[in-house]
Chains A and B, each alone.
Chain A
Amino acid sequence: MSAMAERDVTGNSLGDAASSAGAARLEDRDGTAVLHVEGALDLALAPKLRQLAERAARQRPELLVIDLTGVTFLASAGMAELVRAHRATAALRVVAGGRITLRPLELTRLTDELAIYPSLSAALAAR
């Protein structure tokens, strides 16, 4: 599955955020579950993230990576799901490169608890 192009976008833009209802999908990369999240990670998308994180956990991957690179708004509801996934999964890594995702994680000091990486390639490489 490594054919998929990796994106190392660190400067999130708000340009198209107005209509950015979020989306999430799960990908299996040779035993690593990668959960890609895009758009607004708020109350509307949080249940979907939980569902996919739980599905990923059932397959007992060596590693679960939640990739927030494409996230344009990280609300508390989204952060609550990151904490839940972290406590339910043995090895969770979170990709949060830009200010839009990092700042809320810093203000809530979830950076103390979550393993945060600046890019998906960094999260996958550090094994």
Chain B
Amino acid sequence: MTARPGFDAVRRAFVGPDGTAVATEVRPLGPAEARAVLGDHVAVAVTDRPILENLVPGKEITHAVAVGNGDRGALVYTTRDAGELSTLVADAIEAATADLAGTVRRLQGEAVVLDALHSTGRELTAQLDIDRIVQDATDAATKATGAAFGAFFYNLVDEFGESYTLYTISGVPREAFARFPMPRNTAVFAPTFDGTGTVRSGDIRKDARFGKNAPYHGMPAGHLPVCSYLAVPVISPTTGEVLGGFFFGHPEPDRFTTRHEYLADGIAGYSAIALDNARLYERERTLATELSRSMLPVAPPTPGLDVLTRYLPAATGSKVGGDWFDVIPLPSGATSFVIGDVVGHGVTAATVMGQVRTAVRSYARLELPPSEVLRNVSELTGGLFGESFVTCFYAVHRPDDGTLTYANAGHLPAILVRPGEAPEQIGEALAQPLGIGTTFPQRTTAFPRGADLVLYTDGLVESRTRDLTLGIEWLLAGIPALLAAPDLGAAWDKLVGELTGGQHDDDIAVIHVRHRGEDGR
């Protein structure tokens, strides 16, 4: 083995009766062995036979010195006659390094504390789920402070804007606190609930603020005994609002040190960031959902046409916001059908969608031909949103001549079923998406009495696990049964369930137009 430089001095101290160096060997010690043999010492003379036999079996060791080096160590030993030096060697090393060793131990202790705090912080701030954040934070802080039990009271705001308080418990079963009311803003708790500072007490019962408030004047009967007390407010770094407070207790006095206070403060700081993130995320998600739902139209009654619509926002909230549809009665008596999809998610996509939808509606009301509607919106989209990618199928039904005129900006084809004919895809690959394409050719086809038109978005036919081509085939295959069903709405719900396997991580929008025909010619 290669002797490390640090041990050479120790090896040279092994000298025989004639003053010359004797042969030594080095046996490295793992962390557990080093702790067992050295304890808090930097060097010790090892004379205990069983220990030596355990570390170096089968050797008649005459002298041995264990030396620590970080969390590891080494045993330097000889089987020769080397006088009685080993104890002196160990004592000398110990004396020379005592101060240093103390400092190293203290710094190692600090490093452990910082490591623990850092890893707790990293785990907390990587989460967006409030329930997990509060429980993990309470567990980590209770452990770090050595408290008998810990609690985290945190404030939330419900959908009506009312705030309410929940709590987590660590160290004891939740039932231990279930019988007690929520702590109120009493003299003892005030600094925590008001966010004015940390309270640390060797014996809270002797604190001047303790026992001042009715009805309990102290802890309620049956409360777990609290003597040592530590309480830290959790304050939002963005708003300065008090998000909650950590409370730690121990039945014995003087259990919480400045280091415990430091750790609790640190974890409270990370918890505040994590809770802030979770709240902002939740707010954005709710806003996007609300925004996209508020913009979804109810199809107005259209003479001669039955219009059925479906809108299923993404099951996973982060993707909500991109799909839309519209049914627009035009001044001439024609009706426009629009379906589209804005790439992206959240508030940005929902906002772009709202504006594109309004633009389509506006040009539609001017009764521009479909190719002109899409060309105008595309120019507007490219200029307004620069990097947008919006697909849109636009169709106009004219009851006076029984036609359907349509253009398609990169959207999936529509499905047209004329009476007695097989489902047919129309408008496939006519043009590029809005914001990218510049020309949008239009087509006109017959839309007779009894015909059906289906417009849909990609969430219906594709996903990470469903190939688009197959998805469209399956949709087409499902159409005849759908058209024959007595209840079209129920039939659509069933078909959507079958196509998506009941799961969809993208929005789904569908418009189904059925030409009843009494107003047609």
- How many whole Å from A10's CB to the nearest CB in chain B? 14
Q: Are B467 and A108 within 8 A (Cβ)? A: no
Complex CA–CA separation, A103 to B70 (angstroms): 62
Interface status of A14 (Cβ within 8 A of chain B): yes
What residues of A have a CB within 8 angstroms of the CB of B318 in the complex? Answer: 43
Q: Indicate whether A77 sits within 8 Å of B469 (C-beta atoms), given known contacts A20-B464, A113-B432.
A: no
Among A53-61, A78-86, A119-127, the one that faces the other chain is: A78-86
B465 touches A14 (CB 8 A): yes
Complex CA distance for A79 and B341, rounded to whole angstroms: 13
B436 interface hit (Cβ, 8 Å): yes
The A1-44 residues at the B interface (CB cut-off 8 A) are: 14, 17-18, 20, 40, 42-43
Q: Give chain B nearest CB distance to A107 CB in angstroms.
A: 5
User: Count of chain A residues with Cβ under 8 Å from any Cβ of B?
Assistant: 27
Q: Is there contact, CB below 8 Å, between A103 and B432?
A: no
Contact A108 B391 (CB under 8 A): yes
Pairwise interchain contact B469-A99, C-beta atoms closer than 8 A: yes
The residue on A at minimum CB distance from B410 is A108
B428 at the interface (CB under 8 A from A): yes
Q: Which residues of B have CB within 8 Å of A107?
A: 410, 412-413, 428-429, 468
Residue A52 lies at the interface, judged by CB distance under 8 Å to chain B: no
CB-nearest residue of chain B to A98: B467
Contact B410 A43 (CB under 8 A): no
Please tell me if the beta carbons of B345 and A109 are within 8 angstroms of each other in the complex.
Answer: no
- Chain B positions within 8 Å of A118 at CB level: none
Nearest CB of A to B389, in Å = 4
* Distance between Cα atoms of A24 and B177 in the complex (Å): 51
Most buried by A among B318, B389, B391, B466: B389
Q: Is B251 an interface residue (CB 8 A)?
A: no
Closest to A86 in B: B436
List the B side residues contacting A20 at CB < 8 Å. 464
Bound Cα distance A43, B345 (Å): 8
Instruction: Determine the distance from Cα of A9 to Cα of B463 in the docked complex, in whole angstroms.
Output: 21
Rounded to whole angstroms, the CA-CA distance of A98 and B436 in the bound complex is 24
B467 and A99 contacting across the interface, CB-CB below 8 Å: yes
**Is B468 within 8 A of A103, CB to CB?**
yes
With both chains docked as a complex, state the minimum distance between the C-beta of B158 and any C-beta of chain A, in angstroms.
30
| Interface residue ranges of A101-123 to B (CB < 8 Å) | 103-104, 106-110, 112-113
Question: Using Cβ atoms and an 8 Å threshold, which residues of chain B touch A83?
Answer: 389, 436
A52, B428: Cα distance in complex, Å? 32
Contact with B along A52-79 (1 / 0, CB 8 A): 0000000000000000000011011101
- Across the interface, do B465 and A17 meet the contact criterion of CB distance under 8 Å? yes
A16 to chain B, nearest CB (A): 10
Decide if B60 is an interface residue (CB 8 Å cutoff). no
Q: Contact between A109 and B462 (Cβ–Cβ < 8 Å)? A: no
The answer for the CA separation of A104 and B412 in the assembled complex, in Å, is 9
Pair A14/B468 contact, Cβ less than 8 Å: no
Q: How far is the CB of A83 from chain B (nearest CB, A)?
A: 6
Say yes or no: A109-B467 contact (C-beta < 8 A), given A76-B341, A76-B343, A80-B387.
no
B469 interface neighbour in A79, A103, A110, Cβ under 8 Å: A103
How far is A76 from B507 in the complex, measured between Cα atoms in Å? Answer: 13
Residue A96, interface by CB 8 Å:
no
- Kindly provide the distance from the CB of A86 to the nearest chain B CB, expressed in whole angstroms: 10
- Is A92 in the interface zone, CB < 8 Å from B? no
Chain A residues positioned under 8 Å from B467 (CB to CB):
14, 99-100
Which residues of chain A come closer than 8 Å to B319, judged between CB atoms?
43
**Nearest-CB residue, chain B, relative to A14:** B467
Chain A residues near B458 (CB-CB < 8 A): 75-76
Q: How far is the CB of A69 from chain B (nearest CB, A)?
A: 16
Q: Name, among B345, B410, B428, the residue most crowded by chain A CB atoms within 10 Å (CB to CB).
A: B410
Q: Does B344 contact A (CB under 8 A)?
A: yes
- Would A84 and B387 count as touching, CB distance under 8 A? yes
Given known A-B contacts A76-B458, A108-B410, A42 and B464 have beta carbons under 8 A apart: yes
Expressed in whole angstroms, the minimum distance between the Cβ of A29 and any Cβ of chain B is 29
In the complex, the answer to whether B464 meets A43 with C-beta atoms within 8 Å is: no
Is B273 part of the binding interface, using a Cβ–Cβ cutoff of 8 Å? no
Q: Interface code B384-417, partner A: CB below 8 Å = 1, 0 otherwise? A: 0001110100000000000000000010110000
Q: State whether A18 touches B465 (Cβ < 8 A).
A: yes
On chain A, the residues within 8 Å of B465 by CB distance are 14, 17-18, 73
Complex alpha-carbon distance, A112 and B506, angstroms: 27
| Cβ contacts under 8 Å, B413 to chain A | 107
- Known: A100-B467, A107-B410, A110-B436; 15 extra A-B contacts, CB below 8 A, are A14-B465, A17-B464, A43-B319, A43-B344, A72-B464, A73-B465, A76-B341, A80-B389, A99-B469, A100-B468, A107-B413, A107-B429, A109-B429, A112-B432, A113-B432
25 A-B pairs in the complex with CB atoms less than 8 angstroms apart: A14-B467, A17-B465, A20-B464, A40-B464, A43-B344, A43-B345, A72-B464, A73-B464, A75-B506, A76-B341, A76-B389, A77-B343, A77-B389, A80-B387, A83-B436, A84-B387, A100-B467, A100-B468, A103-B469, A104-B468, A107-B412, A107-B428, A108-B433, A110-B410, A110-B436
Can you list the 4 inter-chain pairs with the closest CB atoms, starting with the nearest?
Answer: A80-B389, A108-B410, A76-B343, A40-B464
Contacts from A to B (Cβ < 8 Å): 14, 17-18, 20, 40, 42-43, 72-73, 75-77, 79-80, 83-84, 99-100, 103-104, 106-110, 112-113
